[in-house]
Amino acid sequence: MTLTDFQHLMPLLILTVAVLVSMLVIAVGRNHKIMYVITAVSFLAAFASLFDLRDVGRYTIEPLLVIDGFGVFYIGMILLTALLISMLSYAYFEQREERKEEYYILLLLATIGACVLVISKHFASLFLGLEILTVSLYALIAYLRTRERSDEAGIKYLILAAFSSAFLLFGMALVYASTGTMEFAGIAAAMSGFTELPLLMLTGFGLMIVGIGFKLSVVPFHMWAPDVYEGAPAPVTAFIATVSKGGVLGVLIRFFMEVDGFRYPTLVLIFTIVAIASMLAGNLLALLQRNVKRILAYSSIAHLGYLLVAFLAGNQMGVEAVTFYLVAYFITTVGAFGVVAMLSDKERDAEQLEDYRALLWRRPWTAAVFTAMLLSLAGIPLTAGFVGKFYILAAGVNTQLWLLVVMLALNSVVGLFYYIRLVAIMFQQPEADTEVQPRGKLRPSIYLASVGTLTILALLLVYIGVYPSGLLQVIQGLIVSTVP
């Protein structure tokens, strides 16, 4: 490897070093604050190092990685999200008895995995990235192991994720068998002659879709999502919902754009069915839930369905729409789970609808932020979610995916119903006898980390909702290089 290679991999190297340093620090002495600072600083440093790569064009590190505008943007998005999540985690874990320090190591590792995913151009790096991410998540999900449902969630995720990885590997093997290469570009070259996919390739792609589908928790591979969301600690849930899915979606887009999978009606049909099923199942099942984390889980299934609509547009505008929507979705989801984390107490997470009753009159600002996040998920104007949904609809209408677009519109209405129900619960009149339970056992500095994060998220949400041009410019500037 040359020096420029190292320069281009700087964000990943910084994170790797941070992991090693963290381990050594723990060996010397346990201190939650120091760990937190190391993590946050390394995320920031990694993000800062991205500024050098702004005008990277397309830099390949043969044969595994490619660093281009698309990758830089996705890494940046992942790093910022991870930073915000670590800020939320600090207050959350400070309240809890368990050993908290290793959590940050796992968080850093998982983030590295996601970053590798979005810049991989080879099956090997894809799989490596995915496994780094997934293995860290096994531990993260079951991190608060004394709690009731943590183990269940962890094991469920372990088994299903391992299973799906096996599918993915098998799929890759079949594709390798028929094309003789594991590089995306090589596969694309081998496929360029086919007008339709041979059976072996189709099987390979099908199995890979199963594997990817599990990670994205799209229907029919979504069964793990609600249980894992419910059992995992709130910040980890936020991580699964955002970074993990975003990374996988990033590599999916890169692969599909490279091999131009939209040429094959079978693949498009599969994704169309998956998208529609995800939207429908996610929204309809969310209607039945009484648990906020489960509602958010089903809603994230539906949102992945929306994202696939733009993905299926399969052109520059579609990629931009996916990216824009992802940004909005990241902000919103982290914000929503941030509120959940903030309201949680020592024993359990604030996940029952009861915990949110009359929240507006007890804690107006928290409730206002949560309302903003829910409205953004529902796609109401003035929030980033609205612009994102608009962009997706525009991408869909542009390529005339009428069925998908109409389904999306109808599903938005269903989605609205349960988001609004949550909002309505927060706005209910407090019953006369509920007294405000005293909080504030936390030191103000810790409390501030959460409040600060949520404030940043809420401001970003409104800023993007009112003035999307800035973000659009960045996206259009960086992503232009991916699409062949």
Partner 1 sequence: MILVWLIVILMAGGVLAWISGKVNRALPRWVALGSVMAVFGMTLYLWLSNPIPVLGSAWLIQFSQPWVPQWGIRFSLALDGLSLLMLLLTFFLGLLAVLISWREIHTKVAFFHFNLLWVLAGITGVFLTMDLFLFYFFWEIMLIPMYFLIGIWGHENRRYAAYKFFLFTQASGLLMLLAILGLYFIHGNQTGVYTFSYFELLNTTLAPEAARLLMFGFLVAFLVKLPVVPFHSWLPDAHSEAPTAGSVILAGLLLKTGAYGLLRFVLPLFPTATVEFAPWAMLLGVIGIIYGAILAFSQTDLKRLVAYTSVSHMGFVILGVFSFNEWALQGVVMQMITHGLSTGALFIIAGFLYERLHTRDIRLMGGFWSTAPKMGVIALIFVMASLGLPGLGNFIAEFLTLVGSWQANNWLTVFATIGLVMATIYSLRIMQKIFFEANRMEQALPDLNAREMLIAIPMVAMILWLGLYPQPILDTARPSIQEQLQAYTKPAQEQVPVARVDVPAKKTIYIKRTGTKNPEETKPSSNLQITKSSN
Contacts with partner 1 by CB under 8 A lie at 361, 375, 380-382, 386, 390, 393-394, 397-398, 400, 405-406, 409-410, 412-413, 416-417, 420-421, 424, 427, 429, 467-469, 472-473, 476
Picking from 196, 198, 221, 195, the residue whose alpha carbon sits closest to that of residue 208 is: 221
Write down the least CB distance from residue 379 to partner 1, Å: 9
Number of DSSP helices (H) and strands (E) in the chain, helices first: 21, 2
Distances from the Cα of 123 to the Cα of 10, 184, 187, 210, 245, angstroms: 22, 8, 10, 16, 18
How far apart are alpha carbons 218 and 281 in whole angstroms?
Answer: 9
- In angstroms, give the least distance from the CB of 210 to partner 1: 32
Q: Which is nearer to partner 1, 149 or 263 (CB)?
A: 263
Secondary structure class of 146 (helix, strand, coil): coil
3-state secondary structure of 228: helix
Q: How far is the CB of 365 from partner 1 (least distance, A)?
A: 12
Nearer to partner 1, 93 or 391 (CB): 391
Tokens encoding 66: 């490619």
Considering the complex, state which of residue 112 and residue 321 has its C-beta at the smaller distance from partner 1: 321
The residue among 146 and 429 lying less far from partner 1, judged by its C-beta, is 429
Task: Work out how close the CB of 472 gets to partner 1 at its nearest, in angstroms, rounded to a whole number.
Answer: 5
94 near 36, Cβ under 8 Å? no
Q: How far is the CB of 192 from partner 1 (least distance, A)?
A: 24
Return the number of the residue (198 or 364) whose C-beta is nearest partner 1.
Answer: 364
Distance between CA 293 and CA 237 in Å, rounded?
9
For the chain, what's the residue count? 484
Q: Which is nearer to partner 1, 177 or 406 (CB)?
A: 406
d(CA 19, CA 21) in angstroms, rounded, equals 5
* Residue number with CB closer to partner 1 (270 or 472): 472
Q: Could you tell me the smallest distance in angstroms from the CB atom of residue 208 to partner 1?
A: 30
Smallest distance from partner 1 to CB 129, Å: 32
**Angle in degrees, CA 95, 83, 48, rounded to 5:** 150
**Share in percent of the chain as helix, strand, coil (round to 5):** 75, 5, 20
Choice between 420 and 451, CB closer to partner 1: 420
What are the φ/ψ torsions at residue 143 (nearest 5 degrees)?
A: -60, -45
- Measured from the CB atom, is 11 or 468 closer to partner 1? 468
Residue 41: CB minimum distance to partner 1, A: 35
Residue 213, judged by CB atoms within 10 A of its CB (0-12, 13-18, 19+), counts as buried
Q: Tell me whether residue 452 or residue 470 sits nearer to partner 1 (CB atom).
A: 470
CB 412 to partner 1: min, Å: 6
As beta bridge partners, residue 352 has 291
| DSSP code at position 242 | I
CB of 12 to partner 1, least distance (A): 32
- We find the least distance from the C-beta atom of residue 424 to partner 1, in angstroms, to be 6
* CB of 386 vs partner 1, minimal distance in Å: 7
Contact partners, residue 370, CB within 8 Å, separation at least 6: 335, 336, 339, 356, 359, 422, 426
**CB-wise, 329 or 418, nearer to partner 1?**
418
What is the per-residue burial (b if ≥16 Cβ within 10 Å, else e) of 425-463? bbeeeeeeeeeeeeeeeeeeebbebbbebbeebbebbee
Nearest residue to 226 via CA among 289, 277, 144, 275: 289
Can you tell me whether residue 65 is helix, strand or coil? Answer: strand
Give whichever of 231 and 415 is closer to partner 1, judged by the CB atom: 415
Which of residues 328 and 375 has its CB atom nearest to partner 1 in the complex?
375
Report, in Å, the least distance between residue 184 CB and partner 1.
29
Q: Rounded distance, CA 168 to CA 252, Å?
A: 12
- Rounded-to-10 torsion of CA 213, 214, 215, 216: 50
Token pair listed for 376: 């953004």
Task: Please name which of 254, 224, 264, 11 lies closest in space to residue 117, comparing C-alpha atoms.
Answer: 254
